[in-house]
Structure 1
């Protein structure tokens, strides 16, 4: 008994020390993401691809990329699907700065974050769970009820707000809707955001049908990717 008590106390102290250390590491990582400045070339490249965006809108894209990295951090190595086409493009451009991106991942997460094509995942369900996770974590960060949302999380609203061609458009009101013809934007496939949390493997588009072929960013029945590049989810080493 005399031996057991000191061992027990030592174990508690060790555990408390570990938890404090872990909390400090997490705070340091979050602070790093918050204060990080992306290479200016990333924004310039995004501007070349989407020349209709002004400087303020480009800044929204970069904030969206930070939002996505926050989600990755919170998810703690669980896959998080990318809800925004424009942010996905910015992520692609950032990855091209290989050394800087590697350094960023090391300081922000403690491991390298891969840009994983949905086709490379173990199953379609894994990809669908990824977008459900992105939705729920985004809602939690922005204090939104993910089952009964009154507004879209920023990263889910960004493509429609910036009128991104072939972007991922989400609606709270699950009624068929198309882009205003006066916007000179092609008809966009819009997703019913209200269905994302209902099921990990079924979230219909606004006409009530599962998403088909490569546009299942709201967890549609046939999820084969959520960007033109075919890659839209994070995975860590």
Structure 2
């Protein structure tokens, strides 16, 4: 189905679907109670209305995913990124912004649940975006239906809620690139960028724990930790479901990849 109906922009199309869904349900309920005298007619009317509303809801979710993947991010973000990290080229900055989209997609596809930021350089881009409050608020409204508030970049630790947020980020970043989150052969873009660009105090990952000496004190983190029940004594959270991601009802792989993990190779070691 062509989602570019009426040639409206993303925000207007999403708003139109949201209001159409509300109107359909309100009109159906009102009609069932006030205009239909037979219970079976009311039941058929409500069933049809809810089926139609479900279709509109699917279209809305699909359009929001398309918005996150394709809608233009503010042009100033590249300049802000390169000012904060002078080693980045223009092409590097664009890759970081693709990582930011991957993070946004994790939040959207997890059912707008809490996701934690695993990458310092992407966190810089996110923070700079948030500083332009009105633009960020409008972007979030179109992408998620509400604000996505900032949280600091971090790694697995003792806080179960934050661990679940990191596991959701890992799960959905892997799904965007057709990577098995339990047995990753490479890193998704979001988890590879700090090491790729040599970010000071960045988080360095490798796909598999067996690739590093966990007692070497190297500060390297491994992707397979996200599927374990604990991480060096840290808070376990909902590890078996990657922070609940596997039960969110949208575990399929996105058709058009939001990242470029292959360009980052295996990511992470020092």
TM-score by length of 1: 0.74
Matches within 5 A, 1:18-29: 18-29=53-64
Flag the structure with more relative contact order, 1 or 2, with Cα contacts below 8 A and sequence separation at least 6. 1
1:194 correspondence with 2:224 = yes
Rounded Cα–Cα distance in structure 2 between residues aligned with 1:15 and 1:141: 30
CA offset at residue 79 of structure 1? 0.5
Bigger mean CA offset, 56-65 vs 37-46: 37-46
User: Shift of residue 160 of structure 1?
Assistant: 0.9
Aligned to 1:115: 150
Shift of 1:103: 0.6
Number of corresponding residues: 193
2:87 is aligned to 52
- Runs of 5+ consecutive residues of structure 2 not aligned to the other structure: 1-36, 240-270
CA contact (8 A) 2:78 2:90 kept: no
Find the structure with the greater CA-based Rg: 2
More helix by share: 2
Report the counterpart of residue 231 of structure 2 in structure 1.
203
Q: Is the 8 A contact 1:71 1:80 kept in 2?
A: yes
Answer yes or no: is 1:3 the counterpart of 2:3: no
Give per-residue Cα distances to partners, 1:108-162, cap 9 Å, x unaligned. Answer: 111111113589xxx8110111111111111222221111111111111111111
Which of 103, 124, 133 matches 2:168?
A: 133
Correspondence 1:35 to 2:70: yes
Report if the CA contact (8 A) 1:169-1:188 is conserved: no
TM-score (structure 2 length as normaliser): 0.66
5+ residue gaps in structure 1? 178-186, 205-209, 212-218, 220-237
Q: Distance in 1 between matches of 2:218 and 2:174?
A: 24
- C-alpha distance in 1 between matches for 2:86 and 2:151: 27
- Deviating above 4 A after TM superposition, structure 1's stretches of 4 or more consecutive aligned residues are none
Identify the range of structure 1 (145-154 vs 2-11) with the bigger mean alpha-carbon deviation: 2-11
Aligned-pair Cα RMSD in Å: 2.4
